[in-house]
């Protein structure tokens, strides 16, 4: 029997049993929809997160922070000091190293008096070098300029135009702002400085040491004086190559210099960790979705078994007109195949549309909450589900595979019916 004729024949039987076929197909649709939605959505997350993370962060930049390891391992914690920067800078393959000092401060009030005791973090860095590490440390899309006069300060876009404060300007450009903080003995200290620039909007996350929308940036020397401290929160290191060997080598060298009391993170290792976490979640969710597809498979098996019983006589007729066992097997397998294919295609569209809707809802929710921190400016671009050709093929293959595998048993049973018995069947 020609394959086209088999398709037509099997198709006519699916069409004949409309209600039953729709229900069977629905099982596949639900499974594939779930798989496609979860996978394309987690793919979209991955793109959104890695995209924002890698913004302004090159692959050859390492951040050194006190404390042993990313997951809190390692017993001793080595503090970092301004004097350590030169040591790190001297390590082979290190292009440049800078110290970053971060402190928490509050503004007693803004100029118009509408905002009081607003807290923010201060990042003290060498302005001339910092921009070479982070392209986001720039006023190109912001206001004013970054002055290397060791006096003027720069603020993040979020402070100039904070989301949560009804558009009222917190820090005016060109004015002096007053910062207030507690020193080691608990007494309040204040300091006033001129704001020379506002950074362009960064959005997304801020890595430790990197610029953020809500940061205040002071020259390192000034920070050292006003906070009366040499202690750094981060040393940011630029390596002369972004190959894995060099990055691993430098990482090891820095670790051993600080006797493993620090953790060294590269943007690639951070992205890798995040991606692994996301993939794990995605695999887990896919497995849950696969269970529903498995249930759909059992449904297919059940319905085909019933359908074959009802069509015993038809099998007899086919055999009487000369159909071989494998022709009958083919007819029933093609039926299962068609059910799987139709279900997968509908599921693909359904899954993508579902993921798109969820992405819209999620980014709306997160965008609103973004002002509060964490996600920073929120995932402002929205989460676009990613539906690659591999996911499309996987979904179709999976849906069709389940249908055919579960159709195999009833189809083979049907094909083996002796013609005499099949023809006698009432």
Partner 1 sequence: MVDDYNEKVKESMRQEERSVPFASDYRIVLETKDLKKQYMQGKVVVHALRGINMTVEKGELMSIRGPSGSGKSTLLNMIGALDRPTSGTIILEGQNIARMDKNQLAEVRQRIGFVFQYFNLIGRLSALENVQLPLSVRGMPGPERKAKAMEVLDLVGLSDRIKHKPSELSGGQQQRVSIARALTQEPSFLLMDEPTGNIDTKTRDSLLQLIKMVNHEKKITTIIITHDAAVAKITNRQVYIVDGLLYNTEDEAIQAEMNYKAIEGENGNGTERKMEAGLP
Cα gap 125→122, rounded to integer Å: 10
Least spacing, CB of residue 332 vs partner 1, in Å:
15
Least distance in angstroms from the C-beta of 339 to partner 1: 17
Cβ proximity to partner 1, 281 vs 320, nearer residue: 320
CB of 27 to partner 1, least distance (A): 23
Smallest gap from Cβ 26 to partner 1, in A, equals 22
CB of 417 to partner 1, least distance (A): 11
DSSP labels, 23-63: HHHHHHHHHHHHHHHHHHHHHHHHHHHHHHHSTT--TTEEE
Beta-carbon contacts of residue 358 (< 8 Å; ≥ 6 apart): 37, 41
Residue 7 or 278 having the CB closest to partner 1: 7
Measured N-to-C along each axis, helices 325-369 and 18-53 cross at an angle, to the nearest 10 degrees, of 40
Rounded to the nearest 10 degrees, how much is the dihedral formed by the CA atoms of 207, 211, 216, 218? 110
Nearer to partner 1, 2 or 184 (CB): 2
Could you tell me if 109 and 88 are in contact, meaning their C-beta atoms sit under 8 angstroms apart? Answer: no
CA distance 74 to 62: 19
Tell the smallest beta-carbon distance from residue 406 to partner 1 (Å).
24
Nearest approach, Cβ of residue 334 and partner 1 (Å): 14
Nearer to partner 1 (CB atom), residue 7 or residue 91: 7
Judging by DSSP bridges, how do beta strands 188-198 and 153-155 pair with one another? parallel
Residues that bind partner 1 (CB under 8 A): 1-2, 5, 9, 12-13, 15-16, 313-314, 316-325, 327, 418-420, 423
In the complex with partner 1, the residue whose CB is nearer, 228 or 325, is: 325
C-beta closer to partner 1: residue 292 or 327: 327
Measured in degrees and rounded to the nearest 5, phi and psi for residue 157 equal: -60, -35
Nearer to partner 1, 106 or 327 (CB): 327
- Return all residues near 112 (Cβ < 8 A) that are at least 6 apart: 168, 169
Q: How many Å apart are CA 173 and CA 191, to the nearest integer? A: 17
Start-to-end CA span in the chain (Å): 27
Rounded Cα distance, 339 and 354, in Å: 22
Q: Are 264 and 61 in contact (CB under 8 A)?
A: no
Give the CA count within 13 Å in the CB-facing half-sphere of 27: 25
Contacts of 200 (CB under 8 A, 6+ apart): 136, 138, 139, 140, 141, 142, 157
Closest distance between partner 1 and the C-beta of residue 1, in Å? Answer: 5
Strand partners, 190: 180
Q: Which CB atom, from 61 or from 323, has the smaller least distance to partner 1?
A: 323
**How far is the C-alpha of 297 from the C-alpha of 398, rounded, in Å?**
11
Q: Could you tell me the smallest distance in angstroms from the CB atom of residue 309 to partner 1?
A: 16
Instruction: Give the nearer residue to partner 1 in terms of CB position, either 241 or 327.
Output: 327
Least Å distance, CB 30 to partner 1, is 28
CB closer to partner 1, 303 vs 387 = 303
């Amino acid at each position: 029997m020609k394959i086209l004729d088999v398709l037509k024949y099997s198709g006519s039987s699916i069409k004949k049993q409309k209600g039953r076929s729709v229900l069977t197909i629905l099982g596949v649709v639900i499974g594939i929809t779930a798989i496609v939605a979860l996978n394309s959505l987690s793919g979209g997350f991955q793109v959104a997160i890695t995209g924002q993370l890698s913004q302004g962060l090159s692959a050859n930049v390492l951040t050194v922070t006190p404390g042993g390891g990313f997951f809190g391992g390692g017993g001793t914690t080595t503090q970092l000091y301004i004097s350590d920067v030169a040591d790190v800078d001297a390590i082979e393959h290190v292009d440049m190293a800078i110290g970053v000092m971060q402190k928490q401060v509050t503004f007693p009030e803004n100029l118009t008096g509408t905002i009081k005791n607003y807290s923010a973090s201060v990042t003290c860095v060498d302005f001339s070098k910092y921009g070479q590490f982070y392209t986001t440390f720039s006023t190109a899309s912001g206001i004013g300029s970054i002055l290397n006069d060791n006096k003027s300060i720069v603020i993040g876009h979020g402070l100039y135009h904070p989301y949560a404060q009804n558009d009222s300007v917190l820090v005016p450009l060109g004015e002096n702002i007053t910062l207030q903080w507690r020193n080691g003995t608990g007494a309040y200290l204040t300091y006033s400085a001129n704001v020379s620039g506002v950074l362009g909007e960064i959005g997304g996350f801020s890595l430790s040491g990197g610029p953020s929308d809500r940061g205040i940036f002071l020259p390192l020397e000034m920070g050292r004086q006003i906070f009366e401290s040499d202690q750094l929160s981060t040393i940011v290191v630029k390596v002369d190559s972004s190959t894995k060997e060099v990055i691993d080598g430098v990482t090891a060298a820095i670790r051993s210099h600080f006797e493993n009391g620090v953790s060294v993170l590269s943007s690639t290792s951070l992205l890798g960790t995040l991606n692994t976490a996301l993939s794990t979640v995605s695999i887990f969710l896919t497995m849950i979705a696969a269970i529903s597809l498995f249930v759909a498979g059992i449904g297919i098996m059940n319905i085909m078994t019933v359908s074959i019983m009802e069509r015993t006589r038809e099998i007899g007729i086919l055999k009487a007109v000369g159909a071989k066992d494998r022709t009958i097997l083919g007819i029933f397998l093609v039926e299962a195949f068609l059910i799987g294919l139709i279900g997968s295609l509908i599921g693909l569209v359904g899954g993508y549309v579902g993921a798109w809707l969820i992405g819209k809802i999620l980014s709306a929710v997160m965008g609103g909450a973004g002002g509060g921190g964490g996600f920073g400016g929120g995932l402002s671009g929205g989460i676009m589900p990613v539906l690659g050709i591999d996911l499309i093929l996987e979904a179709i293959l999976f849906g069709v595979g389940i249908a055919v595998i579960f159709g195999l048993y009833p189809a083979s049973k049907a094909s083996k019916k002796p013609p005499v018995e099949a023809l006698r069947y009432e």
